[in-house]
């Protein structure tokens, strides 16, 4: 526009009237391009036109308005996380962080965070809204922190003014009894995992059956495992988790092995598994001191894998990954722990005046196990390794009776407990009641409150 005006005013000899007419014409053109401005003609000297632009005042005014919102942020604990680092990532005020950590320490959870554990932050948002978006402001105040402690319990840390208070809440659940069956295709543990059972429940079942079942040789594809478990459901009907296994029936090549969870004394709160006739599945020795294994070498004469000559193999070798826990086969006292030529790192346990067991080629010993220590059946005493004369990681397991080596897989052991009298009567009542439950294929849950 300025160029247009300059061209008109300098290159044409115009009379005053024409110049004034063109001036107004130029003003109209300029206003067309910049409608928001007003134009003031100050003066013109000779053939030059001078124009001053004055920005118009905005008649509208900005209106501020505050709105309140709530928002939640859920995070899951990752490897290396601490409660403090998690709180810092939320960019909370230091005073909030200190109070929350103090409460968590009082609840003894600061050192027990687990990978995958959920923590939820609930915030109050105050948003100052403005016609100019660039001027909008937001303030965020932490209202509550919810830490999931387990499947049932949560810790809620709630703001009250400038301080926080804590309370533990438990999700109300309904208890049912559920029956499930699965065909074992290749792996016993994988079959039970497919039913949704926890790893702890599966390992407990394997440990209980290990007294009477050789998992290496007896289990075949097509065998069946049936389990009756507690099943916990939320009030809205949503599944929460499986509880204790009450009964299991393992069918191996047509032969059925039944075990039942039962408390011998109602006041003890301690439950063990018993066979059909009321005998504890716990015996003087476990059949296998490791849970995940395959027999790589049996008891008897064999060609030594390293030295090449034929020699009596005085134990059984269980191939297992290095670091696999080794369990004490029975209660007893540690009479030897350390290094023995050819055997590598060993633990020897005396279970009675006539019975001892030995565990060889360990990678390391359990910290709690020392010479003279008393160990319980199933307690971890060492970990699978390949120390000494060995071609790979495995457990070499020996059993001696009256000082003579015997085949660990061939010895006969006796039950630890035999129910009798009133206890035996109550056990059979419990067992029969459990068997009487009518599980339908379409609905295998039965409300139950009075089972043992």
Weakest-pLDDT range from 83-87, 215-219, 337-341, 349-353: 215-219
Give the residue, 63 or 185, on which the prediction is more confident. Answer: 185
Domain boundary among 170, 192, 223: 170
User: Given a cut of 70, is residue 99 above it in pLDDT?
Assistant: yes
Give the rounded percent of residues in the chain with a pLDDT score beyond 90.
33
Based on the fold, state whether residues 136 and 158 are members of the same structural domain. Answer: yes
Based on the fold, state whether residues 215 and 302 are members of the same structural domain. Answer: no
Based on the fold, state whether residues 345 and 402 are members of the same structural domain. Answer: yes
Q: Tell me, yes or no, whether 422 lies in a domain.
A: no
Q: Tell me, yes or no, whether 443 lies in a domain.
A: no
User: Given a cut of 90, is residue 361 above it in pLDDT?
Assistant: yes
pLDDT band at 149 (very low <50, low <70, confident <90, very high): confident
Based on the fold, state whether residues 47 and 17 are members of the same structural domain. Answer: yes
Weakest-pLDDT range from 41-55, 93-107, 313-327, 382-396: 41-55
Q: Tell me, yes or no, whether 126 lies in a domain.
A: yes
Based on the fold, state whether residues 327 and 351 are members of the same structural domain. Answer: yes
- Report the length, in residues, of the chain: 452
Based on the fold, state whether residues 155 and 180 are members of the same structural domain. Answer: no
Tokens, residue 261: 């969870």
Q: Report the CATH number at residue 315.
A: 2.70.70.10
Q: How many angstroms separate the first and last alpha carbons of the chain?
A: 97
Based on the fold, state whether residues 31 and 108 are members of the same structural domain. Answer: no
Q: State residue 256's pLDDT score.
A: 92
Based on the fold, state whether residues 160 and 214 are members of the same structural domain. Answer: no
Q: State residue 1's pLDDT score.
A: 46
| Mean pLDDT score, 225-253 | 89
Based on the fold, state whether residues 14 and 41 are members of the same structural domain. Answer: yes
Assess contact for 387 and 361: CB atoms under 8 A.
Answer: yes
Average per-residue pLDDT in the chain?
78
Phi/psi at 270 (5° precision): -100, 125
Q: Report the CATH number at residue 156.
A: 3.10.450.350
Helices (H) and strands (E) in the chain, counts: 7, 25
Q: Tell me, yes or no, whether 358 lies in a domain.
A: yes
Assess contact for 416 and 280: CB atoms under 8 A.
Answer: yes
Tokens, residue 341: 């030529």
Give the residue, 1 or 203, on which the prediction is more confident. Answer: 203
Q: Tell me, yes or no, whether 114 lies in a domain.
A: yes
Query: What's the predicted TM-score (pTM) here?
Result: 0.53
Q: State residue 59's pLDDT score.
A: 40
pLDDT band at 71 (very low <50, low <70, confident <90, very high): confident
Q: How far apart are CA 40 and CA 433, in angstroms?
A: 104
Assess contact for 182 and 224: CB atoms under 8 A.
Answer: yes
Based on the fold, state whether residues 45 and 71 are members of the same structural domain. Answer: no
pLDDT in tens, 387-430: 998 888 999 999 999 999 998 888 777 666 778 888 899 999 99
Quote the number of domains for the chain: 4
Q: Tell me, yes or no, whether 282 lies in a domain.
A: no
Measured N-to-C along each axis, helices 16-33 and 2-11 cross at an angle, to the nearest 10 degrees, of: 170
Phi/psi at 95 (5° precision): -65, -40
Based on the fold, state whether residues 156 and 227 are members of the same structural domain. Answer: no
Domain boundary among 239, 274, 309: 274
Based on the fold, state whether residues 45 and 72 are members of the same structural domain. Answer: no
Tokens, residue 412: 């006969």
Domain range enclosing 132: 65-170
Q: Tell me, yes or no, whether 193 lies in a domain.
A: yes
């Amino acid at each position: 526009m300025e160029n247009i005006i300059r061209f008109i005013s300098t290159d044409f000899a115009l009379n005053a009237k024409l110049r004034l007419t063109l001036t107004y014409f130029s003003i109209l053109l300029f206003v067309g391009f910049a409608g928001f401005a007003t134009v003031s003609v100050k003066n013109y000297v000779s053939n030059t036109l001078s124009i001053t632009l004055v920005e118009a005042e905005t008649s509208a005014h900005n209106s501020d308005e505050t709105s309140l919102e709530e928002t939640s942020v859920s995070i899951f604990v990752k490897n290396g996380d601490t409660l403090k680092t998690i709180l810092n990532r939320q960019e909370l005020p230091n005073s909030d962080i200190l109070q929350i950590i103090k409460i968590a320490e009082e609840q003894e959870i600061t050192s027990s965070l687990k990978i995958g554990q959920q923590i939820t932050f609930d915030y109050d948002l105050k948003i100052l809204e403005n016609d100019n978006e660039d001027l909008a402001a937001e303030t965020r105040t932490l209202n509550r922190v919810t830490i999931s402690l387990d499947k049932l319990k949560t810790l809620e840390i709630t703001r009250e003014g400038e301080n926080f208070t804590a309370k533990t809440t438990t999700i109300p659940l309904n208890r049912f009894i559920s029956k499930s069956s699965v065909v074992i295709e290749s792996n016993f543990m994988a079959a039970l995992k497919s039913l949704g059972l926890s790893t702890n429940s599966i390992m407990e079942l394997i440990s209980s059956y290990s007294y009477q079942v050789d998992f290496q040789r007896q289990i075949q594809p097509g065998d069946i495992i049936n389990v009756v478990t507690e099943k916990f459901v939320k009030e809205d009907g949503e599944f929460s988790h499986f509880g204790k296994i009450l009964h299991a029936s393992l069918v191996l090549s047509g032969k059925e092995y039944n075990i039942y969870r039962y408390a011998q004394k109602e006041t003890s709160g301690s439950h063990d598994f018993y066979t059909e006739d009321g005998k504890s599945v716990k015996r003087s020795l476990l059949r296998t001191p490791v849970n995940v294994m395959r027999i790589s070498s049996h008891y008897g004469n064999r060609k030594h894998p390293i030295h090449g000559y034929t020699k009596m193999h005085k134990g059984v070798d269980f191939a297992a990954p290095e670091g696999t826990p080794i369990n004490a086969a029975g209660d007893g006292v540690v009479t030897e722990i350390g290094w023995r030529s050819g055997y590598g790192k060993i633990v020897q346990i005396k279970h009675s005046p006539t019975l001892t067991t030995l565990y060889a080629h360990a990678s390391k010993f359990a910290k709690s196990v020392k010479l003279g220590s008393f160990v319980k059946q199933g307690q971890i005493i060492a970990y699978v390794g390949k120390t000494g004369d060995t071609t790979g990681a495995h457990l070499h397991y020996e059993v001696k009776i009256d000082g003579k080596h015997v085949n660990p897989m061939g010895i006969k052991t006796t039950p630890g407990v035999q129910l009798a009298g009133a206890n035996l009567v109550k056990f059979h009542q419990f067992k029969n009641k459990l068997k009487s439950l009518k599980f339908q294929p379409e609905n295998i849950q039965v409300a139950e409150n009075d089972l043992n």
